[in-house]
Every structure is written in structure tokens, then in C-alpha cells.
Structure 1
Amino acid sequence: MATLSEIETWLQDRLPALLAEHQVPGTAVGVLFGGEVIDHAAGVLSKATGVPVTPDTVFQIGSITKVWTTTLVMQLVDDGLVDLDTPLRDYLPEFVIGDETAAAVITVRQLLSHTSGFEGDIFNETGKGDDAVEKFVASIADVTQLFAPGEMFSYNNAAFAVLGRLIEVLRGKPFDTVLREHLFTPLGLTHAATDPYEAILYRAAVGHIRPAPDAEPVPAPMWAMTRGMAPAGAMLAMRPRDLLAFAKFHLDSGTAADGTPVLSPASVKAMQEEQVKLPKLGMMGDSWGLGWELFDWDGTTVIGHDGGTIGQNAFLRVVPEHGLAVTVLTNGGDTIELYKTVVGHVVKELAGLDLPALPTPPATPVPIDVDRFAGTYSCEVVDVTVRQDEDGKVWLDQTPKGIFAELGPAPDPVELVGRNEESLIALKAENGVHISYVFVGNESGGPALFIHSGRAIRRASA
């Protein structure tokens, strides 16, 4: 096995070449092992300025924020203020969605495990004030219910904004304030920002996007998403060392480095227990806990989460059995390829683990009934059409909507082949991943829902 010092040397030697190979403008990497932390950085904050990234650079961590929000909810559980299996309405009577029957029974546990069933990719702009989360929750009153609460998994950003509002109501303070008082301060974090106004006080990375599918990444036209979605991951930024301090306190049964109890051991354990299994989707976990994704790496349990904002991607993997955590923070380019190389090397050298291979198209595609799957599937942020051309090939077309339509042109059509009877897989890898698409049938035999990047999307037309 390697030492941390050897890992640090490898990062110093390899990161610049890896950034160039994968067109990643900048990265900061941190590794926690045996209670010690190393970090290293390479590249630039922005191609527009050329300012170098350092280990103290703050990157947006995106949806890794959801684990922080979950931790704040579990603190409420520890304080006797929340029961996970009580309907949310008991604590948040203002919660209204399009399906009143569902709204009345959705529990806190279902929100935390992405099983509440309502459409989750809602990015309504509700301002920059302390009432942004409250206004966001009010703005989803007509959101569609996709399936009965608790029936299955569908990744849900809006659910975590709702949880953020629950935290605000029960703590009597804005979400950002609670985050700082209940996590940043007791964990001793020094380079963490809850919004752009704080991030600018540090060496902050700028996201990069591709103006066309084959173009090189360029600085994104905006830094952050709407504040109303902050509890889901719209704004939180930090350096790797601070993110690893958060991971370490979860490894240490909820105790901060100075011995301060921040979360009960029971709640730490509960967050890592399986709540729902997932179909094989590639980068996502094999199952989901409370906040955490759960991975099975050849019999070893790994917990983690990824995050993506406007041109920034973050990766966190924690191996409790080995006291190991690694994070890779990036600001554009083929970030998954960088993740695979860096995290793959670290876990192999320090824990003897092989990073599981991502799904690839079968050598002989599985025959599929295209008529059963063909059609248009629609949600708030994208319309997805599955079609067959005159040569018999199956294609997926995507038309982004809302904020995502403003970030660049629609993606090129994706050719799909049969992976198994219920799923298709992209023939060509995108950012290092052959994306899988799973279809969920209804009583009449046709697919009512289409699982795209972990989200269930309702069929709009055949």
C-alpha cells in the first residue's frame, strides 16, 4: 500500500497532464487517510484571468450540499424536533404540491431518500433575499406528482429546498445562518461560502461550459444558480480540506476534530443505511441512504455524493472501513474522466479497492421493442424524445428548457442500443460515461416513466 506522501507526489506529477488531456481548466484534490489530510491543486480559476488554482481555492460542491442539508435535518431529529416518518405537513403546513393526496402523506424520510415522487428539477427564481427558500417552496404548488410517495426512486432537487425550509421554520433562522452556526462553526471550517458574496472573499473558481458539443470549455456566463435552491446545492462552495473535515466528522460518529459532538452516532449510522435501491445508472450509487449515495465496491461499502452546478463538478467518496475519503473539485471539461483516474488511483493505492467499471454497451445489443419506448417525455427542464430512424437506429433527442436552455445549444442526438429488456444505453460515451436510460412500465404495458440521469420523467406523447 502507498503512503499519503506518495499519493501527494503522484498528484503533483500527474495533475497538470490530466487537466490538459481532459480539458479541465482547474482542480483541487483532497485525501483524508489515517486521520491526516493532503491536498493539491493545478490549473486556473478561470481561462479569462489565468489566476492559478491553489489548495485553498473554493469550488462549488453542488449537490454534495444535500448531505449537509440532511445532517441539519438529522440534528433536528437528535433534538426531538422531527420524526422522519411523520408527514412533513405536521411541521410545514404550508407545503403544497399539485397532488393534495400525496402532499398530505409525504414524510421527511421520503424527501431525504428521493422517494417522495413529485417532479424535482424545478429552478424557479425567487430572489436573493433571506426569504428565497420560503418563496421557492410556495412556487411549487402546482408541481406534478410522478408516482405514489415511497413507491420508487427519482432524484429530487426541489425536495431538498423543501427540507431547507423545514430547517428554517424549526430553527427560526435562514438556511445559510443555520448551516454556518450548526456545521461551519463547530467543524472549524475556514474556507467555506454559502453564496457568491462570501465566495468572492476567497480564491473562487469559475465554472466553464462548452458553447458547442465539440468546443473547448469557456467561462460560464453566470456563477451561481437561484438562492431558493441553496439547500439542494445551488451555491455552497469550499476548498477540499473543509469538505474533508465534514467527511471526517461523519467517519468519527458525529464528533468534530476538537471533540465537540455535532451529530449523534445513531443519526450518523441512520444516514448510511439503505432506504431504496436504484437501477444500474452508472455514476449513481447502487442504493440511497438518507442524503448519502451508497455504493457496493466488490463487497466494500462506500458512501458519497457528486455535485454539478454551472460548469463546476464535485466528487466525494468515503470508505468508512478504511477511514478514507477523497474529493475532486473541478471547474469544467471532461470531469468524470479526471474523477476516474484520480479517485481510482487513490482508492487502489490506499485501500486496495478497484473503482467499479461504468456500464458500456453490450457487444451484441439486446433486441428491443422500439414502439414500446418511442415517444416524448417531458419535465420542467427538458423534453426528451426517443425515436427510430429509417435505418432502424434508435436516437434520443434533448431540448433543454428554462435556465438550461440559456447555457448553450441543445445536445447532439444520442444513438441508443438495447442494454436489457427495460433499458437502453448510449452507444457513445459523454464525458466518460455511456448514459443508461431505464423505462418503467405502467398497467397497460407501455413505459409511463423514463429514468434519465436518475430522474423519472413522465411520458407526454407516444
Structure 2
Amino acid sequence: MDPDRLHRVLAELAARHQVPGAQLAVLHGGDRFLVHTGVADTATGAPVEADTAFPAGSLTKPFGAALAMILVADGDVDLDDPLDGPLPEFGAGCLVTLRQLLSHTAGLPSDVPEGTAGTGDRARWVARHCRTEDLAHPPGTVFSYSNVGYVVVGRLVEAVTGMTWQEAVGAVLLEPLGIRPAFVAGPERTGRPVAAGHAVQAARGRVLSVAEQDLPEVELPNGGLALSAADLVSFARRYFAGCPDPAPLDRATADDMCFDQLSSIAVGPYGMADGWGLGWARYDDGAADVYGHDGTGDGTHCSLRFDPSNGSAVALTANANTGARLWADLAPRLRELGLPVGDRPEPGAPAGPIPAPAGCLGRYANGDTVFEVTRAAGGGLLLGFGGAPRAELLCDPGLRFVMRELGSGTCSPGRFVADPLTERIDYLQITGRLAARTGDDSGPA
């Protein structure tokens, strides 16, 4: 592994995608490599350093899962008991377990409704918005990626430890790993340098610094950590089969977190991953099972992948909204170097027009988010939410489609899900979120 080559590749791809600054950390064959490039904030010109933290977005979730699993290992919480005992304000806790929360099978809505975050009082928020009537799906039946679920995990940590979530994740998990805690919001921020996000406006040739992360304090367990690429790889190393002492986890807990929880689940994480453990996504990559997570903040992107069996890991941090495209271009380069990452190329449009499946038109809801599938003037399908069409759906054989965003042209996979007995389309699945049909289709497909 040549660090100069890694640096050249990172700098080349950062320039291609107008990413102001990035870090790439690699652990392979027992050797560690860390390269970085560019500036942490175009407004100040501060350079990216090895210790610069980047807003990690949803890559915060595996850290919160590990914290919760430490409490399980200590006997403070049971993975499979209903949570209304330790968390009486959690109305749906009589039906939901911690295992379900960590594996996104608890049935809670995908996203925190806009305008409900309030002052950051997580106990009050959970009491108001996580009742049985708020469930989007029956617990334990389907995978549906849920930020709400990790708000509940954060509240559970607070109830058990008597600390704030930030205090607990720092004291119990990060500091024992030698990671200096940093957060994008809340009173526990540190003096550690944190990169600013950036919005790339390619059509206008502009890259604008994002003043701060727009993350309500109640959602810190979803995406509140700021971490370096070196921090991410150091954390991943705890899950390697050859790591005899993954403290503050134990060996059994680390192994359990990488065990796929979805074997009995009817609908999995299509288009997002190939399976899911307790906090970690699982990706198929030939003979290897690769684990990891992605995270997107306001103008930032981070990715982490690791192979527990051979002890390799790779992490990217990038401070622009084009960071996901940088990662997509980086993945095949890493594979050439013998680093499996499990990622697949962005899906392209089907070779020719394929008729839309019958009965797909109509509304689908997950919590307060409502999607509407309508017929376009030219005969294709449009997907709208928030009142306006946002993407076109290009149908593949079966019930799959490629969602191509209007304007940006960004493509991602999705599908309709039908009842196996009635063949009626009951769900729409996009980026792991599963939305249930709310009524009859609005006309023939």
C-alpha cells in the first residue's frame, strides 16, 4: 500500500468533485495509512489536519449502538425485553425491544417530524411522539431505516446511566478508545477543530461554506458526533476477529453487533445494504461480508467499511455535499488495492422503457412523510413529496425502479413491495425507508 498513491487519488477525486477537504484512513495487512488534503473551511482557509473532526451524520448511530450494547453486556438492559420498564415514557415500549431499535425493525417512523424537536428534552419528545399509535409498521416485521429509533436509544442511555447522551458516549465509549469527543450541537461541544460543511453549486461554479450543522439537539444520537477518519478506523478495529481485547466492548458484544438480524424479516434494506446487524450495515462483496455505515450532514459525507475476517478497514471524511460521489468514485480504486468495500456503482437508467407495474400509483406514508406516485405526461412515473414532483421512477423488471432526481440527475435504487398472496402493491421502499400505501391507487398504471 503506497501512501503517496493514496494521497494522489484522494486529492484527484476531491478536486473532481469540488470537495474542499477530505481525509482517508486505511488499515490493511496490519499497517495503518492516513492521508488528508485541502482545507477544513473555505471561509477561514484552515487546513485539514490528521485530527480534524468532520460532522459524521448517521455514522453516529453505530457509536450509539455500541454504547447501548455496553449497557447490555453490563446487565443494565436486556436486548429482547420490552422497553416500557426501563423507559416508561416510551409508549410503544410495551411492544418494542432494544434489538429492534438497533436493527431498524422496531416499526418507528423514519424521520423526526419537522418542528417537533423543541428544546432537546429527549424524555418529553419520546413521550409525545413514540406512542403505539405513532408506529409506522408492526414491530419486528420489516426493515425500515429510522432516525426516530435512535432518538429512543439515546433516551434509553440517558435513563440507564443518569448522564446526558453526550456525556455517556464520551465517558463510556470514546474516551476509553482514545477518541476526543466532539459534537455538532449542544452544550458538550469541545475545542477540537471541526470541519465546516460546504454546498457545491456546480452549475454556478460556487462552493459555499455552511455556517453550522442544522441538527436539533434532540437528534444528537442520530447524527451529532464529529470524528476524524482515523477515529473511524480505530473504532472499526474493535470488531476485527483478530482483536482479542476490543475494550470497552467485549469480544462477544463486538461479534454480536456484526451478526445479521434480518433472517426472519419479510422486507429487508433493499438499495441500502444487504443486511443489518446491531448498528452496522452488512454489504456483500464477493466472498467477503463487509460492514460499515455512511453519514451525511449539512455539506459533509463520511463512509466507513471494514472486513472483520481479514482485519481491513477504510474510512473517508469529506466536507462537501458531493462527498458521496467522491466515495462512489473511490470505492473501485480501493477494490483494486485489495480493499473490499461492498459498494455498488450508482444505478443507471434501464436500457429501454419498461411498463410500470399495475397498481403502483397512489400515496404511501411513513410517519409524517407522504410520497405520491403519479403518472407523468409522457407516460412514465413521477415521485412527489411535500407537494411537488421530486424524481422520476424508471422501472426495472419486476417491481424495482431507479429513482432519478429531477435537476441533479442523481440515481438511487428503489422498489415497490407486493403482498405475496394478493400481489397487491402495499409498500414503496426508497433508501431503506419503507412507506405503506395509504389508499387505493389513483388510476390504472
Flag the 1:195–1:368 CA change in 2: closer, same or farther, 3 A. closer
The match for 1:81 among 50, 65, 76 is 76
- TM superposition shift of 1:430: 8.8
Equivalent pair of 1:84/1:108 in contact (CA under 8 Å): yes
Alpha-carbon distance in 2 for matches of 1:289, 1:352: 19
228 and 355 in structure 1: CA distance in 2 versus 1, 3 angstrom threshold: closer
Task: Extract structure 1 runs of 4+ deviating beyond 6 A.
Answer: 211-215, 428-432
Say whether residues 1:441 and 2:418 are aligned partners: yes
From 39, 44, 59, give the equivalent of 2:54.
Answer: 59
* Alignment pair present for 1:265 and 2:242: no
Of 428, 443, 452 in structure 1, the residue corresponding to residue 430 of structure 2 is: 452
Match of 1:407 in 2: none
- Alignment of 1:179 with 2:166, yes or no, is no
TM superposition shift of 1:210: 5.4
1:20 is matched with 15
- CA distance in 2 between partners of 1:60 and 1:363 (Å): 38
Q: List per-residue Cα deviations over 1:280-333 (Å, max 9, x = no partner).
A: 744x21011111101110121100001112221110000122211111111223
More displaced 10-residue stretch of structure 1: 211-220 or 383-392: 211-220
TM-score, normalization: structure 2? Answer: 0.87
Work out whether residues 356 and 380 of structure 2, in 8 Å CA contact, stay in contact via their aligned partners in 1.
no
Q: What is the deviation of 1:111?
A: 0.8
Contact 1:347/1:354 (8 A) holds in 2: no
1:87-137 deviation line (CA, Å, top 9, x unaligned) = 11132121115xxxxx42211111111011121301532325xxx332332
Match for residue 249 of structure 1? 238
For the residue of structure 2 that corresponds to 1:193, the secondary structure is coil
**1:324 paired residue among 308, 312, 316:** 312
When structure 1 is superposed on structure 2, of 53-62 and 388-397 the one drifting more is 388-397
Decide which moves more: 23-32 or 427-436: 427-436
Say if 1:421 and 1:352 are closer, same or farther in 2 by CA, change over 3 A: closer
Pair 1:287-2:267 in alignment: no
Q: Secondary structure at the match of 1:90?
A: coil
Query: How many pairs were matched up?
Result: 432
Superposed displacement of residue 423, structure 1: 2.2
Corresponding residue for residue 147 of structure 2: 157
Percent identity of equivalent pairs: 30
The whole-number CA distance in structure 1 between the counterparts of 2:243 and 2:67 is 12
CA shift at 1:380, angstroms? 5.4
Q: Tell me the distance in 2 between the aligned counterparts of 1:245 and 1:300.
A: 21
The 3-state SS of whatever aligns with 1:435 is strand
Correspondence for 2:391: 414
Show CA shifts across 1:59-98 (max 9, x none): 011111111111112111211222211111132121115x
Seen in structure 2, the aligned counterparts of structure 1 residues 430 and 351 have a Cα distance that, compared at 3 Å, is farther
- Cross-structure match for 1:375: 362
| Structure-2 separation of matches of 1:437 and 1:54 | 38
Distance in 1 separating the partners of 2:390 and 2:189: 37
Deviates more, 1:342-351 or 1:446-455: 342-351
2:183 maps to which residue?
194
| Other structure's SS at 1:458 match | strand
**Could you give the per-residue CA deviations for residues 189-209 of structure 1, whole angstroms, max 9, x where no partner exists?**
23x313446656222111223
CA distance in 2 between partners of 1:367 and 1:64 (Å) = 38
Q: How does 1:28-39 map to 2 (within 5 A)?
A: 28-39=23-34
Give 1:34 shift: 3.3
| Contact map agreement 2:184 2:213 (CA 8 A) in 1 | no
How far has the Cα of 1:341 moved from its partner?
Answer: 2.8
* Match among 323, 327, 347 for residue 339 of structure 1: 327
Q: Secondary structure at the match of 1:185?
A: helix
Q: Unaligned 5+ residue runs, structure 1? A: 98-102, 401-409
Equivalence for 1:125: 117
Residue in 1 aligned with 2:296?
308
Q: Counterpart of 2:411 in 1: which secondary structure?
A: coil
